[in-house]
Structure 1
Amino acid sequence: MSATFDRTWIWHPAFSENQPGTAGLFVHFRRLFTLEKEPPTTLKIHISADTKYKLYVNQHLVSFGPVKGDQNLWFYDEVDIGPFLRKGENHVAVHVLRLFYATQFAPSFPRLASGGLRITVPEDEEEYSEHLHSSTQWESAIDPFASLRVDEPEDVFLHTYEAHRRQHGDVPLEWKAAKVLELKNSTGNTPPWNLSPRLIPPHQVRKACFAEIHNLQSDVPLETWRNALLAGQSKGSRPEVCLAPGSRHQFQLEVTAHTTAFLRIRFLRPSYSGSSIRLSYAESYEDEPDLYEGVRRKAHRRDMTKQLLGPHDFYQLQGRTNFPGPRYFENEELQEIFAPFHYRTFRFIKVDISVEGAGLVFQGIDIDSVHYPLDVQANITSGSQESIVQPLWTTSLRTLVNCMHDCYEDCPFYEQLQYAMDTRSSALFTYCVSGDDRLARQAIIQLYNSFQPRLGLTASRAPSHRQQFIPHFSLYWICLLGDHLEYFDDKIFLTKFIAVVDAILTTFASLIDPQLGLVKWEIRTGIWNYVDWTKEWKPYGCPLVCERTGFSTFTNEIYAYTLQTAAKIATAVKRTAVADEYRQRAEKVAAAVREHCFDGEFFTDSLVSAQADDTLVPYSQHSQVWAVLSGIVQGPGAQELLRKSIRQTNEKKFVQESLAMSFYTLRALSMAGGTVYEDHFHAFWEPWRYQLAMGVTTWIEDSISQRSDCHAWGSAPLYEFVAEVAGVRPAAPGWKAIQVRPRLKLYPELDARVPLRMVNGKTSGIVHVSWAQGTATTDVWVRIKVDMKGAQPVPVHISLPGLEMTLDSDSNSEFLVHRPSQSLPVLTFTRLTSRKCLENNNS
């Protein structure tokens, strides 16, 4: 059998990754060809690159990508370039960012051992293949001026900030015929990139603008800068700003809210090179951080008396040249544009312009916000409480969206990595506001692909160029599967992950101590037993007592909790014997926790026997919350435990959970039953209200280090208002039945719109729940309506105080709730309208 080869990838023939002082390089590709006839209105190509690309057709940015992948799954895009082609000469260009493989730089961006660009044309468009298909007809050139900075103190994840320096004067790009990579694809061999079509929709790109300019240092009047830079300051096209030779200019720009965006900085092309611009990106005004303690010193985010601290891009203008550039933009001979390749995250930008030689004409900065196209279908309004509820809701939405790009991200300013714990929360929030699971499905697959048999764990984050393992995060991944089962019931999708679920749970089972029946911590190189970011557990988020004893109450509680979740998954895919085994294992672990980690009043963070030796705080809110979530304590006992532990936490006697872990405190309050959720609900949001008072527009990562000002695990209000306050959630997997259990005591009036799951990119239904005070001050009107968008009706289980009923989803119901007193004794109802009542024992 003769060998066969894949020849669909091309690369620069002389590219070398042995370049110090940079995380990678930019490579330009171009293809010039002439069409003798009008091009088709639609012409789709497939394109991918390692590491990232931007595709330009006749000076129009058509596409950028690919979605971050790794050696297990590398994505390509299908792009329609037909609308951008024309009869006559055509110029197709690809700007490729290649991050070096054999370095630890830029762990946020996986890449394989060779750079590459792949462009193919489907067989039914073969006449265009000779013009576009990867071949030696493409020319390539390495950018000699640009580097990816590795000297930014706080940038240890991205390394996509750029420095462009014109050290060699008027030097042309050195174009060379691209090299076709021959990659053996026979006798069990494959190319290094395991290609897959894109799994998520293209990003949403929208025009944005600056809102204000601060702290100007310039001989040009403030009003001139405002007219050139701010929205609504000038009619028609914005005026240019003429900058004198030898002048220096500094100003700080603010957008209305935290943003992720592409930037284009435009100048009239100067006569000479040498002038420069530096853009520094920040989320907040702040004082110098305490690097020893690892904390930022932030107060009100708009306190302009403080500094803007953050990474920067540097661009030295090329000026007029005898040699054409890559021709990405229109009018390049007249205009010089700096467009940082990767999107930038900011709320504020500090701009420094240095004019050398001849004068410089500044033409403006364009902003295009970019993120996952989240179609928000949910909405909450609350009448007289709107000023309290809406900031929580809108800030949560903005935070979630800013943390959704190629994947769910922990924070867009720093890591841009998809961690399992963070993703579990973000995916749930996404289901609640849009019913969209496309990014979540991709996350599930990518984390699954990170599984390492030698450890029996999935990586804590994926995809990533540098794997990391946090055992608890493998359990959060299993919980992510359980949530997907609840909201989408896609058993075929989930079945493929069952073997890895079992492997992870077996890894934890192998660590059970035979005498105590508790899972031991594995303390060794390559494993990080992170629990939560708290002041007492700095610097690594681990209780010190657990490191000393080798046992963690939290570990055993979340293991028992996950076993129960895995049992539901196993039952759904008809592995009933496995499900029974998981439940039995959960019960044994729960019994061991009760015996060895409960002192009769509270759960200690480790063994009760170690408590007397512990000079630090022996209790945390975490151990109490997860005791409830895992079912170790239930009913009135759970309610009393949470009431007491919250009181102890508020008095600073217990380790307090972070914003991230607060979501699980809320889940425990809900699970405990009684009135404990309602009793703590309004006070619970005080840390969020404090953030708003400090001028944030997205939720912070944590209140201890105050590092990032945008982290989606703080967007818990999205879930709470939808699933708890409005009370809408699946009553059966995949919304085959709907539960409506509104918490009427929390707000005097509320109007909620809640989407069901998305099918083929469209919402399958909307549930409307509202209530308002009746004519009598003790009465409440409750309205429930389900719009199935053409789908088959499903049962709707309605639960109100003193009333349980089941209706078809094509029924509209309206109730008058008679509330005799504010103490909520047994209520009576008048059902005003309905159709197709299936069951109503109280009507």
Structure 2
Amino acid sequence: MNTLNSKEKYHEVSVQALSQEILSCYGPKADFRWVRCADFDSAPFVCAYKREFFLEHEDEIRIFVTADERYQLYIDGDFVGEGSERGDLNNWFYETYDLKLKAGAHVIAARVWALGDKAPTAQISANPCCFMLYTEKKEHLDLLATGYSQWDSLKLEGFSFHEVPFAFAIRWREDIDGRKYNAGFRKGLGEGWQKADNFKITSLVEPALKLKPRNLPYMLRRNIKSCSRVLINRLKPKDYSNIENVKILPSQDSDTENQRWQSIQNGGSVTVDAHKTIRVIYSLDDYYCFYPELRLSGGTDARIFLRFSEAAYLTRDHEENRHFRHPKGNRDEIEGKYFKYAMTTEYISDGSCGQVFDPLWWFSGMYFELVIQTFEEPLVVEGLSLSETRYPLEMESSFRSSDKRYDEILQISFRTLQNCTHETYMDCPFYEQLMYVGDSRIESLCTFVSTLDDRMPLKAINIINDSRLENGLNMSCYPYRGMHVIPPFSLLWIAMVSDYACWRNNSGELVTSLLPDMRRIVSYFVRRKNTDGLISPGSGRRYDAFNFIDWVDGWNNDWGVPHGDNEINSVFHWLLVYTLGLYADMESCFGSQIFAQRALNEAEEISKTVSHLFWNKDRGLYADDLRHESFSEHAQILAILSGFAPTEQFDIIKQTLFADENLLRPTTYFSHYYFEVCRTLENADAFWDRMKLWYELEEKNFKTVCESTLPTRSDCHAWSSHPLYHFYSTVLGIRPAGFGFEKIEIKPMLGRLEKAQGRLVHPKGQIEVDLTQRGGRLSGRISVPDGLEGSVILSDKKLDFTRHDEVLEF
């Protein structure tokens, strides 16, 4: 049950195949009726809806709920659920709840908001602040359904919004003036309620929303009680409005006072005297995404800042830096530092008893602070709750090795994946909250090795496909309000489909349905060949596009694009050739042999052109640009992975890639592809050497993996979590041997490890590997589910197995 207070009363329907749920109840002429607040004028707008009703006897009622943009649902004051699951106009999701209600009077209420152009850029809207509740049974329509029964509405006053300049995609956050706000809406209390306006959404009158059942399980809501450290600073009144520039000092209060502030999470309370300004900093001991709720009494006009940070910064003054990469030091240390670039929300007390301050959307980080300023009256802080929220993703596989550092890296990598998985994948929970294709490919791979739950990878593939433009490309991140196009990410979307086809055994129908869209992407790029046989990915100014590959400092630009006139570079071409190979394999297995051969022919032709124009014989490398002035690991990596580099050049770059110290290196993101090459070339030393990028995180007490090499902007960034994938697929070496995961290939690469063991989830059961390496000999045991076949490969040796258990020695 997804409630905070009353697990006995309500429960949500298990997420299942509900695609025809409403239609099965009412047939194709189901009459969905929406309501809108009578006072609505324009977004941003926050309102409440309520329906008061009476039951003669106990009843169970299934309801379907959605809103534009978002809602939080309450029954008799208790939280029931939230939505709508993030989508777009063609994928507007509704949630399903079962209500178990006793006889008597009840009130169902919802807080609904639409922020318009102040909403996160991932939030799409068509009919702001509209709300719909439908019932499964016709006899309940007149009792509860919007447009059938009498619903009232109320504009929730007191909201204002401030811009977040360092988080362009999150955009604005809310503040609440409690002197105007009606927190009693949950129980239908307060004055000013009016009859809600009926609002029928049709394609002829308003933008239509294509209703679909929620795809995903309901987001986790779990109380956090791990604030083991509290730090208190007494401030001057002027510090309140300048708090980000106020240095954090060692705690200035006794242990007893610290304990009192800690107790507000467990039923305690603290009084802040009149005319005081104070900051109270809580350390969460882990990285969380969470909804805060603050309970207050008294303190008329008192101001309370809630501020949330990933880490404290070493200095107060920073040079202009587009990517906000500033030193933070050890993440467990905050004294003497500053909470710059914190997410904030502010509340003003109305002086009453039992005030509740609960922001609309969640926050994230390892630290939060209360900054309180009182005036004529003392303020009583009666309680604070933090409710963790994220996709309910839990680890179903396991990995251990003889080097505990790697166990720690796996732990923080998985924790990153958890915090970046919500109603969509997200690049990061703090700064952008966007589902980029490049990030999502890595997140999907990490999901495949962690759990059998593949609903999020499926949603990512399908909804990004729904963003397709008329030229054949898909958006680079989606959902997205506006236009955001990175042409190379359309190629990585094809790679995402290939990954799913390999790692799951139910992929045939999906891949077949998506092949026409893959053909459109391939056609887009092939059509752009110039007379030299080279391709400009396309500046696509109409779509505000840029051809991002990786944030490499040496490329001397702010857009992560390799050097090259008119953006023609070898890195993109090798990415295209690599993708053509993946696409051809899918066509051959699920589609057309003709299209497959065409793709292979294109790959061969492009690879020959690139090898001729970009190969630098003196350095034994592919240059990034036609003038041979820039050289990166990226070009060599993709040439190797593509399998189309000419044999002579391949034999050279598999040495120079690792030997040339002047090559521009990938960031933590693109190091995923470097690790893939290490496996292809069986270079374990290079693999473990590059893992040093992650060792530093443990030394600085990171709880998640960050966006880039240090200093970094984001401390929690899922595109750097791929060691999680590689510990299973490269170190233990467990991978699908083709589409459908019906056969497996185990190609271990322990390198410097003496021992590695693990268990990997598979649709048929568990794959277990236990390996030991001594004196140049590898031995161990593998166990696979019944009916799963495969082979173990080590250098030039191969052992096929069909038995459930196999003892190995090489």
* Pairwise TM-score range, normalised by the shorter structure: 0.7 to 0.9
TM score, norm. by length of structure 2: 0.88
Q: How does 1:822-833 map to 2 (within 5 A)?
A: 827=810
* CA–CA distance in structure 1, aligned partners of residues 759 and 354 of structure 2: 48
- Distance of aligned partners of 1:173 and 1:560 in 2 relative to their CA distance in 1, 3 Å threshold: farther
Per the alignment, residue 53 of structure 2 pairs with 33
Partner of 1:14: 39
Q: 1:514-536 CA distances to partner (integer Å, 9 max, x unpaired)? A: 2x211124235222111211212
Q: Is 1:654 equivalent to 2:648 in the alignment?
A: no
CA distance, structure 1, for counterparts of residue 160 and residue 147 of structure 2: 26
Instruction: Give RMSD over aligned pairs.
Output: 2.6
Identity of aligned residues (%): 22
Secondary structure at 2:555 match in 1: coil
AA of the residue aligned to 2:155: I
AA at the equivalent of 1:752:
G
Aligned partner of residue 488 in structure 2, secondary structure: helix
Match of 1:787 in 2: 785
After TM superposition, the structure 1 = structure 2 runs for residues 243-262 of structure 1, keeping only pairs within 5 Å, are 243-262=272-291
- Evaluate the alpha carbon distance shift between residue 654 and residue 772 of structure 1 in structure 2; reply closer, same or farther with a 3 A threshold: closer
Cα–Cα, structure 1 residues 437 and 79, in superposed 2: closer, same or farther, change >3 Å? same
CA apart distance, 1:104: 6.5
Cα separation, partners in 2 of 1:225 and 1:499, compared to 1, 3 Å: farther
- Matches for 1:802-817 after TM superposition, within 5 Å: 803-808=797-802, 811-815=804-808, 817=809
For 1:145, the equivalent position in structure 2 comes to 158
Q: 1:426 to 1:294 in 2, by over 3 A?
A: closer
Query: Distance in 2 between the 1:510 and 1:173 partners?
Result: 64
C-alpha spacing 1:501/1:174, structure 2 compared with 1 (3 Å): same
- Name the counterpart of 2:351: 319
Q: Of 650, 672, 678, which residue of structure 2 is paired with 1:669?
A: 678
Q: CA deviation at 1:501?
A: 0.8
Match of 2:802, as an amino acid? D
The letter for the 1-side match of 2:50 is R
State the Cα distance separating 1:807 from its structure 2 match.
2.7
Shift of 1:285: 0.9
Q: What does residue 446 of structure 1 align with?
A: 463
2:790 aligned residue: 796
Q: Report if the CA contact (8 A) 2:51-2:109 is conserved.
A: yes
Aligned length: 752
1:177-576 matched pairs, under 5 angstroms: 177-184=195-202, 192-209=208-225, 210-217=227-234, 221-230=253-262, 237-267=266-296, 269-270=297-298, 273-286=300-313, 287=315, 288-292=317-321, 294-298=323-327, 299-304=329-334, 305-309=336-340, 310-320=342-352, 334-383=353-402, 385-386=403-404, 388-453=405-470, 455-489=471-505, 490-514=507-531, 516-525=532-541, 526-543=544-561, 545-546=563-564, 548-576=565-593
Spell out, residue by residue over 1:7-59, the C-alpha distance to the aligned partner (whole angstroms, 9 max, x if none): 421111231116xxxxx22111111111121223xx32111111111111122
The 1:524–1:805 alpha-carbon spacing in structure 2 relative to 1, beyond 3 Å, is: closer
Q: Alpha carbons of 1:629 and 1:804: their partners in 2 closer, same or farther (altered >3 Å)? A: closer
TM-score, with length taken from structure 1: 0.85
Q: Distance in 2 between matches of 1:344 and 1:425?
A: 24
Q: Tell me the SS of whatever aligns to 2:737.
A: strand
Structure 1 contact 46–76 (Cα < 8 Å) conserved: yes
Shift of 1:364: 2.9
Conserved? CA contact 1:105–1:156, under 8 Å? no
Say if 1:29 and 1:228 are closer, same or farther in 2 by CA, change over 3 A: farther
Tell me how far apart the structure 2 counterparts of residues 192 and 337 of structure 1 sit (CA, whole Å).
Answer: 36
Q: How does 1:591-630 map to 2 (within 5 A)?
A: 591-600=608-617, 601-608=619-626, 610-611=627-628, 614=629, 618-630=630-642
The answer to which of 627-636 and 484-493 deviates more is 627-636
Q: Deviations over 1:485-518 (max 9, x none)?
A: 111241111222212111111110111112x211
Inter-partner Cα distance in structure 1 for 2:191 and 2:484? 40
Q: Which residue of 1 aligns with 2:106?
A: 90
* d(CA) in 2 for partners of 1:726, 1:166: 56
Distance 1:396 1:661 in 2: 15
Q: 1:602–1:217: structure 2 CA closer, same or farther, 3 Å change rule?
A: farther
Gaps of 5+ in 2: 1-28, 184-189, 236-250
Q: Distance in 2 between matches of 1:663 and 1:364?
A: 44
**1:349: how far off?**
1.2
Is the Cα contact below 8 Å between 1:756 and 1:765 reproduced in 2?
A: yes
1:68-114 Cα shifts (integer Å, max 9, x gaps): 111121111111222xx3321112111112122xx365212111144
CA separation of 1:260 and 1:634: change in aligned 2, threshold 3 A: farther
CA apart distance, 1:276: 2.0
CA distances 1:436-478 after superposition (whole Å, capped 9, x unpaired): 221011111111010011x321000111112201100111111
Change in Cα spacing, 1:599 to 1:802, as seen in structure 2 (3 Å) is closer
- Is there any run of 5+ residues in structure 1 with no aligned partner, and where? 19-23, 321-333, 758-763, 818-826, 828-843
* SS in structure 2 of the partner of residue 457 of structure 1: coil
Looking at structure 1, the residues matched to 508 and 419 of structure 2 have their Cα atoms a distance apart, in angstroms, of 31
Note the alpha carbon deviations across 1:710-757, whole angstroms, 9 max, x for none.
111111211111011111111132221122222244421111111114
Checking the alignment, whether the CA contact within 8 Å between 1:289 and 1:296 is kept in structure 2 is: no
User: Would you say the 8 A contact 2:753–2:773 is kept in 1?
Assistant: no
1:176 equivalenced with 2:194 (yes/no): yes
Go from structure 1 to structure 2 and tell me whether the alpha carbon gap of 1:170 and 1:55 turns closer, same or farther (over 3 Å shift).
closer
Please list the CA deviations of residues 394-448 of structure 1 after superposition, one character each: whole Å capped at 9, or x if unmatched.
0100011110001110011011110111101110110011132210111111110
Check the 8 A contact 2:157/2:182 in 1, yes or no.
no
Q: Tell me the amino acid that sits aligned with residue 289 of structure 1.
A: H
Contact 1:206 1:368 in 2 (8 A): yes
Paired residues of 2:34 and 2:146 also in contact (CA < 8 A): no
Q: Is the 8 A contact 2:571 2:638 kept in 1?
A: yes
Per-residue deviation, 1:620: 1.1
The amino acid across from 1:300 in the alignment is N
Residue 705 of structure 1 and its aligned partner are, at CA, apart by: 6.4
Once the 2 structures are TM-superposed, how far is the Cα of residue 66 of structure 1 from its aligned partner? 1.3
